[in-house]
Amino acid sequence: MRLILLGPPGSGKGTQAQRLVQKHSIVPLSTGEMLRAAVAAGTPVGLQAKDIMANGGLVPDEIVIGIISDRIDQPDARNGFILDGFPRTVPQAEALDELLRKKHLKLDAVVELRVNESALLDRVEKRAAETRARGEEVRLDDTPEVLTKRLAQYRAMTEPLIHYYSERRKLLTVDGMMTIEHVTREINRILAAIGAREPKAASPAKRTTAAKKAKKPVKPAKAAKKASTAARKAPKPVSKARTAGKAKKAAPKPAKKVTKRRAKR
């Protein structure tokens, strides 16, 4: 199973991704982690990314796609993967589609966790207040101000992906405002429904049995023999001469003329 999770910051993508990984035995693909792993491993693509990251630049899409390509070729990704945080733009989605096409792989679904932004901001404010009340320092990236900026960035860059995947009939939308358990159950339900609609290919054994049951073509020699046998068993045509003779014999003979003798005087 190959999935993409879409949703704004705070929608619960990370939690649901981990649950899907455990349920379906697939691997989570985080572009940040993959980039760091490729750099540490010294792969050709990792070495390209290393210099760019060292200078504080953004890694180009083609390098990210190259790292994803290397990662999904590994044995543990054979059962599938789930992408969280990629693609972020339509060009990245197009590049991913092309990569999967070349590898003869299919994207099963894109799950969008739809949430209420106002509710997300309320959550962050409440969490920040509770953190301060405990005398702890609030994380810089866990404030309403930072979340507002991230939500604006998501709308500008990532929301177009919803239309992109909807046009390709890959998008499945789930209400992300439900409880974590309810969201998990709903995702599993719609993924199971997709699997039920897909026609299952016949097994090799069934295909072999079906082929044996199929009518075998008749060989030319057997066909000729059958035709000859049928011809011998068929009633022979009666010639016109024999028909006329039989008709003549069957016709009633004319009655003999009776000659009256004259009485002697």
DSSP state of 86: -
In the residue annotation, 114 being an active-site residue is answered as no
Per DSSP, which regions of 72-139 are E strands? Answer: 81-84, 109-114
222 among known catalytic residues: no
**Measured between alpha carbons, how far is 120 from 200 in angstroms, rounded to an integer?**
41
Catalytically annotated residue among 19, 88, 114, 123? 88
Is 265 a residue of the active site? no
Out of 19, 36, 114, 127, the active site residue is 127
**Active-site residue, selected from the candidate residues 2, 13, 50, 170:** 13
Query: How far, in Å, CA of 160 to CA of 255, rounded?
Result: 112
- Type of residue numbered 111: V
Q: Which of 19, 36, 114, 150 is catalytic?
A: 150
Active site residue 13: yes
d(CA 62, CA 55): 18
φ, ψ for residue 8, nearest 5 deg: -70, 170
- CA distances to 16, 20, 88, 125, 185 from 188, rounded to whole Å, are 10, 8, 24, 31, 5
| Six-digit token string for 33 | 């982690």
Beta strands in the chain (DSSP E): 2-6, 27-29, 81-84, 109-114, 171-175
DSSP symbol at 78: T
* Residue that the structure tokens 């733009």 belong to: 89
Contact 109/124 with Cβ under 8 angstroms? no
Active-site residue among 23, 101, 139, 155? 139
How many Å apart are CA 158 and CA 90, to the nearest integer? 8
Instruction: Determine whether 88 is an active site residue.
Output: yes
Which residues are annotated as catalytic? Answer: 13, 88, 127, 139, 150
